[in-house]
A and B are shown apart, each in its own frame.
Chain A
Amino acid sequence: MISIKDVNKSFGTNQVLVDINLEIKKSNVIALIGPSGAGKSTLIRVINALEEIDSGEIIVDGTSIHDKKTDINKARTNIGFVFQSFNLYPFLTALENVTIAPIKVKGIPKSAAEKMGKELLSSLGLADKMNVHPSHLSGGQQQRVAIARALAMDPQIMLFDEPTSALDPEMIKEVLDAIRKLAKEGMTMIVVTHEMGFAREICDNIVFMAEGRVVEVNPPDIFFTNPESERAQIFLSKVLNH
Chain B
Amino acid sequence: MKYQLDWSVITNNLDIFFKGIYLTLEISALSLLFAIPIGIVFGVGRISKNPIIRFISSVYVEVMRGVPLLVILIWIHLVLGQFLKLGAFWGSIISLAIFSGSFIAEIVRGGIQSLPKGQMEAARSSGMSNYQAMRLIILPQAFRKTLPPMASQFIILIKDSSLVSTISAVDLTLKATNLAALSYRYIEIWSFVALLYFTMTFTLSLIIRQFEKRWLKSEY
Interface residues of A (CB under 8 A from B): 48, 50, 73-74, 76-77, 79, 81, 83, 85, 87-91, 100-101, 104-106, 133-136, 146, 149-150, 153
Once A91-B220, A100-B136, A134-B220 are accepted as A-B contacts, the answer to whether A105 and B128 lie under 8 Å apart by CB is: yes
Q: For residue A93, which residue of chain B has the nearest CB?
A: B220
How many A-B pairs have beta carbons closer than 8 Å: the answer is 69
Q: For residue A81, which residue of chain B has the nearest CB?
A: B125
Residue of A88, A91, A105, A133 near B127 (CB, 8 A) is A105
Within 8 A of A (CB), among B146-184: none
* B132 and A105 contacting across the interface, CB-CB below 8 Å: yes
* B125 and A104 contacting across the interface, CB-CB below 8 Å: no
Give me the 3 closest cross-chain CB pairs, A-B, nearest first.
Answer: A87-B118, A77-B127, A101-B126
Residues of chain A within 8 A of B121, CB atoms compared: 50, 81, 83, 87
How many whole Å from B112's CB to the nearest CB in chain A?
Answer: 14
Please tell me which stretch of B83-91, B137-145, B193-201 contacts chain A, meaning at least 4 of its Cβ atoms lie within 8 angstroms of it. Answer: B137-145
Within 8 A of A (CB), among B100-133: 116, 118-119, 121-129, 132
Tell whether B15 is near chain A: CB-to-CB under 8 Å.
no
How many whole Å from A173's CB to the nearest CB in chain B?
Answer: 24
Q: How far is the CA of A76 from the CA of B122 in the complex (A)?
A: 11
Q: How far is the CA of A87 from the CA of B133 in the complex (A)?
A: 13
How many whole Å from B207's CB to the nearest CB in chain A?
Answer: 22
Residue of A50, A88, A100, A134 near B124 (CB, 8 A) is A50
* B127 and A76 contacting across the interface, CB-CB below 8 Å: yes
B interface residues, tally (CB under 8 Å): 20
* A135 and B220 contacting across the interface, CB-CB below 8 Å: yes
* B220 and A73 contacting across the interface, CB-CB below 8 Å: no
Residue of A77, A81, A104, A135 near B132 (CB, 8 A) is A104
Residues of chain A within 8 A of B140, CB atoms compared: 91
How many whole Å from A50's CB to the nearest CB in chain B?
Answer: 6
Once A90-B141, A91-B220, A134-B220 are accepted as A-B contacts, the answer to whether A83 and B127 lie under 8 Å apart by CB is: no
Q: For residue A105, which residue of chain B has the nearest CB?
A: B127
Residues of chain A within 8 A of B129, CB atoms compared: 73
Once A100-B136, A104-B136 are accepted as A-B contacts, the answer to whether A89 and B127 lie under 8 Å apart by CB is: no
Q: A73-B127, A77-B127, A136-B220 are in contact. List 15 more A-B contacts (CB 8 A).
A: A76-B125, A76-B126, A77-B126, A81-B121, A81-B125, A83-B118, A85-B116, A85-B118, A87-B119, A89-B141, A100-B137, A101-B127, A104-B128, A105-B128, A153-B127
Q: How far is the CA of A149 from the CA of B126 in the complex (A)?
A: 8
Residues of chain A within 8 A of B118, CB atoms compared: 83, 85, 87
Q: How far is the CA of A118 from the CA of B122 in the complex (A)?
A: 20
Residues of chain B within 8 A of A83, CB atoms compared: 118, 121-122
Q: How far is the CA of A106 from the CA of B126 in the complex (A)?
A: 10
Q: How far is the CA of A104 from the CA of B124 in the complex (A)?
A: 12
Q: How far is the CA of A134 from the CA of B136 in the complex (A)?
A: 17
Q: How far is the CA of A54 from the CA of B144 in the complex (A)?
A: 38
Residues of chain B within 8 A of A77, CB atoms compared: 126-127
Residue of B116, B127, B141 near A74 (CB, 8 A) is B127
Q: How far is the CA of A74 from the CA of B125 in the complex (A)?
A: 10
Residues of chain B within 8 A of A81, CB atoms compared: 121-122, 125-126
* B144 and A50 contacting across the interface, CB-CB below 8 Å: no
